[in-house]
Structure 1
Amino acid sequence: MKRLFKSIHLYYFQISLALIFSTLYPAIFFFSRKPAKFHAMNRLRWYFSYLSSLFSGFIFRYTFEEKIDWSKNYIICANHTSNLDITAMILLAKRNYVFMGKEELLKNFITGIYFRTIDIPLKRDSMMSAFRAFKKAGENLKEGKHLVIFPEGMISESYPPVLQPFKNGPFKLAIENGVSILPVTIRNNWNLMWDDGKQHGSTPGICDICVHAPINTIEMAETDAEALKDRVYNIINDTLIIHENSKSS
């Protein structure tokens, strides 16, 4: 019975996504044709994410280690286990922001229009694509935008998911541009919907997200990128371990 409910909920969620996005699509398409499109596109993306989550019973609860100064821009680095993680970042980020993600998102009905306009697609096995993507990301950071990236570069194929090694790119980019890293731990989205939900379905509930204190990179050298990567990985991994231990105790 539980499995049937999760399958029904997933279909309901997918239908809600399609209906709400279709309703907003004329406005999204209109602003996608405008040069100064970031604010409007991201505002519409916020409404789409908020409404689709609300109608599907997903509630996003954020805890902050300290108050975030959103007048600064950040490279927001989060673990990635679910499509709900994208919504979590959209509802978190303030001001203008861009996602960097896999090139396959260009083909998606919902994400495609964003990755053809304001977001940054990346072909994972192409060094040239990576160079162009991070060059564009650097330009966006210089313009004061946030960059949202999942540094694992993939969703774990094991279930329950395990935190995968981080890529170096976001941390080198942060140091090169003197931009702080904002680590984010998404504790339980995989439990509500793992990946796209096709294997285990989905269920409504509270998405529990911890936003850590920003890490300043101003005084770091390029050689510190590896240590910065390990530091962010350990922050997120330790938080996940504490969360799992608290559930089992």
Structure 2
Amino acid sequence: MKLIIKRIHTQFYKTSVTFFFILCFPILYLLSKSPKLYKYINKFRQIIALISSACSGIFYRATYEAPIDWNKTYVICPNHTSNLDVLAISTNLHNNHCFMAKEELKAYFVLNFFFKTIDITVNRESKISSFRAFKVAAERLKNGVSVVIFPEGTIPDNHPPALHPFKNGPFRLAIEMKVPIIPITSLDTWKVLWDTGKEFGSRPGICDIFVHKPIETAHLTLDDADALRDEVYAIIKQKLLQA
């Protein structure tokens, strides 16, 4: 019975997201007509995320290790345990940003709009697709748009989720573009909704993320990419162990 209620909650949450997206769609559609206005699409995504989640009793809370200068551009690297990670992170980023994610997510009605405008899709099985996606990401960084990349590349299949090895892409990108990396630890979003919620459903609750202080990359070369990857992995791993 408890599982049935949690699955009903998941459907209510998804319906809520769709409802508020449709409500905002006329404005989003107008904004999508000009790339110069794309930064405002981010604002509406944050509004949709906050209102639809609140209607489902889900809230997002961020703790910062140090003050962040949101006038700068960053590569942002969070761990990934839940579809709520995107909402938890996007509602706590105070600059223009985009997400890089697997292209299969384009099948979702709401996500497809954002992938056609502000976000970046990648086929992780294709080296050509990956090359193109990171090329687009580099252009975004040049234009002052921060890029959020989940270095695990996917949500782990195991429950409770364990931190999986990180891929090199985001770390090479940060070094090439000479922009700082911000590690983010998603602490307990999986307890509210693990993965898509299909298996265990979801429940009301607070999703906590910890925003670590930026790591500078201006002094690094591509030979340091592995060390940077391991440093970020260790930072997030340690925070998860503390939690």
TM range (shorter): over 0.9
Alignment of 1:41-120 (within 5 A): 41-120=41-120
**In the aligned structure 1, how far is the partner of 2:97 from the partner of 2:210?**
19
Alpha-carbon contact 2:61-2:88 (below 8 Å) kept: no
CA distance in 2, matches of 1:102, 1:191: 23
What is the aligned partner in structure 2 of residue 15 from structure 1? 15
1:106-162 deviations in Å (ceiling 9; x for gaps): 221011011112211101011111111111101110111110111100111111111
**Pairwise CA distance, 1:46:** 1.1
What's the offset of the Cα at 1:4? 2.7
Count of matched residue pairs? 243
Counterpart CA distance in 1 for 2:101 and 2:10 is 23
Amino acid at match of 1:197: G
Which one-letter code corresponds to 2:87 in the other structure? Answer: T
Q: How far apart, in 2, do the equivalents of 1:7 and 1:108 lie?
A: 18
Residue aligning to 2:186: 186
SS of residue in 2 equivalent to 1:184: strand
The equivalent of 1:40 in structure 2 is: 40
Cα distance in 2 for residues equivalent to 1:37 and 1:82: 29
Tell which deviates more after alignment, 200-209 or 34-43: 34-43
CA RMSD of aligned residues (A): 1.0
Q: Tell me what 1:201 maps to.
A: 201
Instruction: Give the CA deviation at 1:2.
Output: 2.5
Per the alignment, in what secondary structure is the counterpart of residue 92 of structure 1? coil
Tell me which moved more, 101-110 or 188-197: 101-110
After TM superposition, the structure 1 stretch with the greater mean CA deviation from structure 2, 101-110 or 220-229, is 101-110
Question: In the aligned structure 2, how far is the partner of 1:114 from the partner of 1:14?
Answer: 16
Structure 2 distance, partners of 1:23, 1:38, is 18
| 1:30 paired residue number | 30
CA distance in 1, matches of 2:11, 2:30: 29
TM norm structure 1:
0.95
Q: Distance in 1 between matches of 2:122 and 2:11?
A: 29
Q: Is the 8 A contact 2:38 2:117 kept in 1?
A: no
Q: CA deviation at 1:25?
A: 1.2
Secondary structure of residue in 2 paired with 1:37: helix
Task: Write out per-residue CA displacement over residues 85-123 of structure 1, whole angstroms, 9 at most, x where no aligned residue.
Answer: 010121011221111110112221011011112211101
Deviations, residues 144-183 of structure 1 (Å, cap 9, x unaligned): 1110111100111111111111110000000001100000
Please identify runs of 4+ aligned residues in structure 1 that moved more than 4 A.
none
Match of 1:246 in 2: none
**Aligned position for 2:170:** 170
